[in-house]
């Protein structure tokens, strides 16, 4: 049994919703030789110094998120993606203690597989580099006019560049793309993510 971390005790004490569900998930996780830490304000569980799973709460459900969920086999079809552009994380959604009890063995099975991925050193392949063809023309026009802006954009992490490209491309009209670029120009210069 893993040791409890007082920071997670404090987190649990502040919960207004899904407390019984997270308490039970925590109990299951602590049977799996994981290190309990609080990262980004959430309970996270590490194996071999790598976060493999985290607990979370939303308005309509509690979650158990697997950081390399995309690599899990998911034989019971229980994992969901947090969004259409999510590449790595997959999660279980829970809405009751009974549901967690019903899937306890499945949860342990997925945890065992997640730990096995770490034992084998398996990594998720880095995303393909965004090609210049993926950039909206409006952004390329700004790069031509403002070389410092182009340099700032290229200095963003690959994930942030990808997020901005997807966000700008999601606009259907050119004027909306331009408005988005102008709105987030300062964020890009400051290496900030989209808010």
CATH code for the domain of 39: 3.90.1150
pLDDT digits (tens, 9 = 90+) for 76-112: 999 988 776 667 899 999 999 999 999 999 999 999 9
What local confidence, expressed as pLDDT, does residue 6 receive?
Answer: 93
State whether 64 and 113 are in the same domain: yes
How is residue 109 written in tokens?
């099975």
Domain count within the chain: 2
Distance CA 105, CA 80 (A): 18
Neighbouring residues of 57: CB distance < 8 A, sequence distance ≥ 6 = 15, 17, 18, 22, 63
Structure tokens at 140: 């390329």
Say if 126 falls within a structural domain. no
Taking the alpha carbons at both ends of the chain, their separation in whole angstroms is: 39
Distance between CA atoms of 170 and 45, rounded to whole angstroms? 35
Residue 151 and residue 58 share a domain: no
Residues of the chain with pLDDT under 50: none
Residue 90: predicted pLDDT: 92
Residue 194 forms part of a structural domain: no
Task: Examine the domain organization and report whether 18 and 82 are in the same domain.
Answer: yes
Domain-embedded: residue 127:
no
Question: Is the overall model pTM greater than 0.85, yes or no?
Answer: no
Per the structure, the complete domain to which residue 156 belongs is given by 132-189
How many CB atoms are located within 10 Å of the residue 68 CB? 20
> Beta-strand (E) ranges in the chain?
35-39, 42-47, 50-57, 62-66, 90-94
């Amino acid at each position: 049994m893993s040791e409890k971390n007082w920071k997670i005790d404090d987190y649990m004490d502040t919960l207004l919703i899904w407390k019984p569900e997270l308490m039970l998930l925590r109990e299951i996780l602590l049977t799996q030789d994981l290190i309990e830490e609080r990262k980004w304000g959430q309970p996270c569980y590490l194996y071999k110094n790598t976060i493999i799973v985290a607990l979370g709460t939303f308005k309509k459900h509690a979650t158990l998120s697997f950081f390399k969920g995309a690599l899990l086999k998911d034989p019971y079809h229980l994992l969901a993606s947090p969004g259409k552009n999510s590449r790595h994380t997959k999660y279980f959604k829970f809405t009751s203690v009974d549901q967690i009890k019903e899937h306890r063995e499945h949860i342990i099975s997925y945890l065992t597989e997640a730990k096995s991925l770490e034992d084998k050193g398996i990594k998720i392949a880095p995303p393909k580099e965004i090609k210049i063809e993926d950039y909206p023309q409006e952004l390329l026009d700004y790069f031509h006019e403002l070389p410092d802006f182009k340099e700032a954009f290229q200095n963003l992490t690959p994930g942030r560049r990808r997020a901005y490209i997807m966000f700008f491309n999601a606009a259907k009209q050119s004027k909306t793309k331009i408005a988005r670029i102008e709105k987030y120009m300062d964020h890009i210069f400051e290496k900030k993510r989209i808010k």
